Amino acid sequence: MSQSASAVETNSAEEVVRKQIDAYNARDMDAFLATFADEVEIFGFPNTPSAKGKEEMRKRYTVRFSDTILHCIIVKRIVMGNTVIDHERVRVTLPEGPGVMEAIAMYEVHDGKIAKVTFIYGKKTPGEEL
């Protein structure tokens, strides 16, 4: 029996987001940007624009990827159709030193690329480990 269209789409959306997280953790800018649509839109919840397009993404993440302790883990993932929602914990250098920041990322995938991401930013905890 063949998979339904929605099952194929769900697997595809989840796979694209997984590749994006893998590239993020590898700090591989080209592989990271390859998972996004050319006109990707990034928002702070509920709808505050923060970046649009791959060139803005490159500028924003060049600094982030220079952080040698950068690493993201997924605490929980929900997938429905072309939407992937991740609760993320990210090891990062905060102004106070190494720590963890939390976020919820809502990814919308269209035509095999992440077209929109909305972030809900959580707490930042200096000194905490993943």
Residue 2 pLDDT > 60 = no
Residue 62 pLDDT > 50 = yes
Residues 32-45 have pLDDT tens digits of 999 999 999 999 99
Residues 70-89 have pLDDT tens digits of 999 999 999 999 999 999 99
Cβ contact 41:115 at 8 Å: yes
Q: What does 79-107 look like in DSSP terms, one character per residue?
A: EETTEEEEEEEEEEEETTEEEEEEEEEEE
Q: Give the residue carrying structure tokens 């991740």.
A: 86
Quick one: pLDDT band at residue 3, thresholds 50, 70, 90? very low
Residues 104-128 have pLDDT tens digits of 999 999 999 999 999 999 999 999 9
- pLDDT for 4 equals 47
**Stretch 83-99: mean pLDDT, rounded?**
97
| pTM for the full predicted model | 0.90
